[in-house]
Structure 1
Amino acid sequence: MEQIQLTIEEQHDGERIDKVIAELNEQWSRSQVQQWLKEGRVLVNGKAVKPNYKCHVDDEVVISIPDPEPLDVEPEPIPLDIYYEDADVLVVNKPRGMVVHPAPGHMHGTLVNALLAHCQDLSGINGVLRPGIVHRIDKDTSGLLMIAKNDLAHESLVNQLVNKTVTRKYVAIVHGVIPHDYGTIDAPIGRDPRDRQSMAVVENGKEAVTHFRVLERFEHYTFLECQLETGRTHQIRVHMKYIGYPLAGDPKYGPRKTLPIDGQALHAGVLGFHHPRTGEYLQFEAPIPHEFERLLDMLRNNR
């Protein structure tokens, strides 16, 4: 069981304890935190409190996070589009529609199921549900992912992400015509206070920086390349909505009337990193998927 200790600071004075804790980690839902509170896993100044407890400055909070229940993840012979593989690292091109790792209620057909059938030597740092997974892309986003095959590789790749030395470039189609050729969006991202299932630009969010350049303009859309400096959940989708150019097809952050595509028009096309053992810089590029290319052809023909 992991324990986390924190002291309530001034900006959280008067806020509900369940809200404060849920904002600590974007992987924790507010309902999950409320369950921990009901089970007495959260102590404030040594006493259990209810989810609606209002925080005070200098409150001492101790959160006892229960160990995850062991879940059997079955290897499944799902074909993998492998771009690189050695004893330490695997680079795969994930198709649109595939979830990266299992979750309760969604235990089959994921990238992890496919990886377990392909090789047994994946890093165990992220536990039974996410073996080898260093970073993620959304279910309906296609593109390149680096996988760690041992703990040495995992720690190295995570450190490279933290130090912002990994190259991650995406291509996207967005609503609207962006007038300038280049731009940088520097806006913090956290849980949307009005919708806990979504992310948003919020004042107390985590640092998030996205650089973009326009590749092609159409009558009502723009085709652009986005480069991540940080890697927050839904970062490109949230940032482009924030500046008024939401991704085409995005069911969560975009308009309903959009291009004929199932999910956001987003592809992780370029991935570069230093090999964890040799230090050599490796970079890979995955071409735009056929469905994405079809949309571009349709937009070009409609000019």
Structure 2
Amino acid sequence: MTATYGAGPARPAGDQRSLPVPDGLDGMRLDQAVSRLFGLSRTVAAALVEAGDALVDGVPRPKSDKVHAGAWLEVTLPAPATAVAVVPQAVPGLRVVFADDDIVVVDKPVGVAAHPSPGWTGPTVVGGLAAIGHTIATSGAAERQGVVHRLDVGTTGVMVVAKSEQAYSVLKRAFKERTVEKRYHAVVQGHLDPLRGTIDAPIDRHPNHDWRWAVVSDGKPSVTHYDTIEAFPSASLVDVRLETGRTHQIRVHFSTLRHPCVGDLTYGADPTLAARLGLSRQWLHARSLGFVHPRTAEEVRFVSDYPDDLEHALTALRD
């Protein structure tokens, strides 16, 4: 798990910080408060509290204790994790849809991460691009250079990577300002009511499971628009347009509606249905991506066909 901090140089191991709990964190769990204040993951923050490296008014407290505004918090920060290097590695199934001097658009297969990260030993998009001779932008964190957006390891489809520094800057701004059209197709359990709608629910890390995300009251604004394309007896094929781009956003939002993506066992999908359809991952595909080209200012749009496992599941649903 990567430990990251706010703006400024990396801090050495054992760096001690003391500050009052701000009003905005009043009533928050201690581990969550430490996570928010110092940009740590909930897992790292909880381990830090349990090790006695977070004191409230000079006293160690359980991670579930609530903190109060004005209380004095003393924290010994862990050493930052070393960035994972990008290693050129051929990625079977990774297809380049378009490439020029500024961008490279790929069709990402299942089982491939966007970029290296601690604990991930499998193939990556940036490693695959390096292996076939694409040089990408150096902007961004060491392991995420050139990456302006990401797809989950288990999600297939179209994504763009910046090759020039100008492209990185322009595309990052476009994603931040929500001018990129991101469309996904998903097969969700059951039938949505209404068939077309908008899910507006804030998302952040799950309060009890650091590896999951959830709708929480103080999460980041998250908006998903959907439209039912086709209904089956036990599921629905939906077109999804993301207004925001939170981690696991589509999976979390539909799970919250009690219509998880078929095959998404992490977020409550029916394992029996997944087995019947031969799915070992969520039925979720980045169908198309549209944006203004960072150099030519031309509107471009790229589309990805369903991979074999998702196509097979659709056929089984129709039978």
Is this a same-fold pair by TM over 0.5?
yes
Q: CA deviation at 1:193?
A: 0.9
Q: CA deviation at 1:33?
A: 2.5
- Equivalence for 1:78: 91
Matched, 1:258 2:273: yes
Q: Is the 8 Å Cα contact of residues 89 and 153 (structure 1) preserved in structure 2?
A: yes
- The structure 1 residue matched to 2:237, chosen from 202, 217, 223, is 223
Q: Is the 8 Å Cα contact of residues 37 and 48 (structure 1) preserved in structure 2?
A: no
Q: Which amino acid aligns with 1:84?
A: F
- Equivalence for 1:199: 213
Q: Is the 8 Å Cα contact of residues 96 and 106 (structure 2) preserved in structure 1?
A: yes
Matches within 5 A, 1:154-193: 154-193=168-207
Q: Which amino acid aligns with 1:258?
A: L
Matched, 1:286 2:304: yes
Distance 2:209 2:203 in 1: 13
1:138-178 Cα deviation digits (max 9, x unpaired): 11110011101133211211111111100100101111022
SS at match of 1:238: helix
- Equivalence for 2:260: 246
Distance 2:242 2:72 in 1: 36
Q: What's the C-alpha RMSD, in Å, of the aligned pairs?
A: 3.0
- Equivalence for 1:20: 33
Matches within 5 A, 1:38-49: none
- Equivalence for 2:41: 29
Q: CA deviation at 1:119?
A: 3.2
Q: Which amino acid aligns with 2:30?
A: I
Q: CA deviation at 1:9?
A: 4.1
Matched, 1:147 2:158: no
Distance 2:140 2:53 in 1: 23
SS at match of 1:195: coil
Q: CA deviation at 1:61?
A: 6.9
- The percent of aligned pairs where both chains have the same amino acid is 35
Q: Is the 8 Å Cα contact of residues 41 and 48 (structure 1) preserved in structure 2?
A: no
Structure 1 unaligned residues grouped into runs of 5+:
none
Q: Is the 8 Å Cα contact of residues 41 and 65 (structure 1) preserved in structure 2?
A: no
Distance 1:5 1:184 in 2: 43
Task: Report how many residues are paired.
Answer: 299
SS at match of 1:283: strand
Q: Is the 8 Å Cα contact of residues 89 and 130 (structure 2) preserved in structure 1?
A: yes
Distance 2:222 2:31 in 1: 24
Identify if the C-alpha distance between structure 1 residues 285 and 120 changes in structure 2 by more than 3 Å, giving closer, same or farther. closer
- Equivalence for 1:271: 289
Identify if the C-alpha distance between structure 1 residues 178 and 120 changes in structure 2 by more than 3 Å, giving closer, same or farther. closer
Structure 2 unaligned residues grouped into runs of 5+:
1-8, 12-16
Q: Is the 8 Å Cα contact of residues 2 and 65 (structure 1) preserved in structure 2?
A: no
SS at match of 1:226: strand
Distance 1:281 1:114 in 2: 27
1:256-290 Cα deviation digits (max 9, x unpaired): 22232010000001101111122211111111112
Identify if the C-alpha distance between structure 1 residues 107 and 8 changes in structure 2 by more than 3 Å, giving closer, same or farther. same
Distance 2:185 2:18 in 1: 40
- Equivalence for 1:298: 316
Distance 1:54 1:117 in 2: 49
- The structure 2 residue matched to 1:99, chosen from 97, 101, 113, is 113
Q: CA deviation at 1:24?
A: 6.4
Greater mean alpha carbon deviation, residues 143-152 or residues 167-176: 143-152
